[in-house]
């Protein structure tokens, strides 16, 4: 299976547990490299509903299912990969031009997102055709000169 070119990867977040329960902290510059400028969360997703279906031009995000589970399909210039977020200790980092689709939300899923910038609709690529075109433009041009 081809590997993704972009920085899309699962991070295991360190958990501070004791007899009272568990706590996970995410700090900019430690667990996540980018400066967190915005937090949002998705919950109460209707059974069978899918979300996403877009890419971001610049935004970096860390996604965590703090409750329940969700599947996320990511596509970049070289591969499509499926991830399952099913633990608060597991985070998905998405950095780069990546098409994402979230599906199979459990009823109790709360998907937390830490984002590198404020909300801007201009950063979204919501048309799949435009996304594919942008990927092509990013491909290095084949050289006209023989080696």
By beta-carbon proximity to ligand T46, the closer residue of 14 and 44 is 44
By beta-carbon proximity to ligand T46, the closer residue of 22 and 108 is 108
What DSSP state is assigned to residue 97? S
C-alpha span between 98 and 69 (Å, rounded):
21
End-to-end alpha carbon distance in the chain: 29
| Catalytic site residue from 16, 30, 54, 56 | 54
By beta-carbon proximity to ligand T46, the closer residue of 6 and 61 is 61
As measured in angstroms, the least distance from the Cβ of 44 to ligand T46 is: 12
As measured in angstroms, the least distance from the Cβ of 54 to ligand T46 is: 7
Residue 54: active-site member: yes
Q: What residues line the site for ligand T46 (CB under 6 A)?
A: 38, 40, 42, 51-52, 61, 63, 100, 102, 113, 119
As measured in angstroms, the least distance from the Cβ of 51 to ligand T46 is: 4
By beta-carbon proximity to ligand T46, the closer residue of 15 and 40 is 40
As measured in angstroms, the least distance from the Cβ of 25 to ligand T46 is: 21
3-class secondary structure, 56: strand
* Four-point Cα dihedral 44, 7, 131, 63, nearest 10: 10
Question: What value, to the nearest 5°, has the Cα angle with vertex 104 and ends 100 and 108?
Answer: 115
C-alpha span between 112 and 120 (Å, rounded):
18
- The residues annotated as belonging to the active site are 54
């Amino acid at each position: 299976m081809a590997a993704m070119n972009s920085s899309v990867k699962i991070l295991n977040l360190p958990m501070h547990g004791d007899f009272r329960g568990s706590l996970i902290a995410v700090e900019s510059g430690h667990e996540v490299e980018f400066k967190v400028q915005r937090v949002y969360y998705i919950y109460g997703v209707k059974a069978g509903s899918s979300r996403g279906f877009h890419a971001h031009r610049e935004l970096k995000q860390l996604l965590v299912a703090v409750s329940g589970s969700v599947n996320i399909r990511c596509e970049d210039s070289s591969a499509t990969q499926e991830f399952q977020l099913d633990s608060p200790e597991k985070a998905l980092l998405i950095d780069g031009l990546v098409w994402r689709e979230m599906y199979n939300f459990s009823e109790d899923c709360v998907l937390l997102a830490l984002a590198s910038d404020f909300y801007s609709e201009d950063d979204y690529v919501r048309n799949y055709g435009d996304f594919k075109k942008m990927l092509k433009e990013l491909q290095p041009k084949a050289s006209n000169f023989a080696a």
